[in-house]
């Protein structure tokens, strides 16, 4: 049992109307998010959870927002890079569970495609091992005022 590890990831981005919204690699017709990359808040939280569980740093360390080569990059590409790092370090993903907190858009309409994109980026991780849930805050706080999107991600991994 001591080769199992849990990781927690968190990310938040403010809305920015001049950008496209990308969540889980899915382009959604809604207000975009501010950020250096494509601002995919879901993928950023997943990456941090995976890196934390495996003891391999965090997204800012590996993909700093001060590096111009990551300007506008697809976060799915970053997740594919993380997948390769995990393979090199003998890390097996058991499952990933995510909560996307926003009033809009309605996450359930896009969750299957998000799961498929994450699965593909993680070398075919079975989609049944990926959870994505959308929650609102009933109009409370910055997400309730529709100022941005917040994501919490939890992963379970096994070190070989």
In percent, how much of the chain has pLDDT > 90? 97
What domains are there in the chain, each with its CATH number? 4-159 (3.30.1330.50)
How high is the pLDDT of residue 143?
A: 97
Output the pLDDT for position 2.
77
Q: Where are the alpha helices (DSSP H) in the chain?
A: 41-54, 59-62, 75-88, 111-121, 141-144
pTM > 0.75: yes
- Could you give the CA distance from residue 55 to residue 57 in angstroms, rounded to a whole number? 6
Give the percent of the chain with pLDDT over 70: 99
| pLDDT band (50, 70, 90) for residue 87 | very high
Instruction: Look at residue 27 in the predicted model and tell me its pLDDT.
Output: 98
Asked if 9 and 97 count as a contact pair (C-beta separation under 8 A), the reply is no
pLDDT of residue 1: 62
pLDDT by residue (tens digit) across 55-69?
Answer: 999 999 999 989 999
Strands 130-135 and 91-101, by their bridges, are parallel
């Amino acid at each position: 049992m001591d080769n199992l590890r849990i990781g927690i990831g968190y990310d938040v981005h403010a809305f920015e109307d001049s950008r496209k919204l990308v969540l889980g690699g899915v382009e959604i017709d809604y207000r975009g998010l501010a950020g250096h990359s494509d601002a995919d808040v879901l993928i950023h939280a997943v990456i941090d959870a995976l890196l934390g569980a495996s003891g391999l740093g965090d997204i800012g360390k590996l993909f700093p927002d001060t590096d111009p080569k990551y300007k506008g990059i697809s976060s799915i590409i970053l997740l594919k890079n993380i997948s390769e790092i995990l393979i090199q370090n003998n890390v097996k993903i058991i499952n990933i569970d995510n909560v996307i907190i926003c009033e809009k858009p309605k996450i359930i309409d896009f969750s299957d495609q998000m799961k498929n994109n994450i699965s593909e980026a993680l070398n075919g991780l079975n989609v049944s091992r990926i959870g994505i849930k959308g929650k609102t805050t009933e109009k409370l706080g910055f997400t309730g005022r529709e100022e941005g999107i917040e994501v919490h991600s939890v992963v379970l991994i096994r070190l070989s």
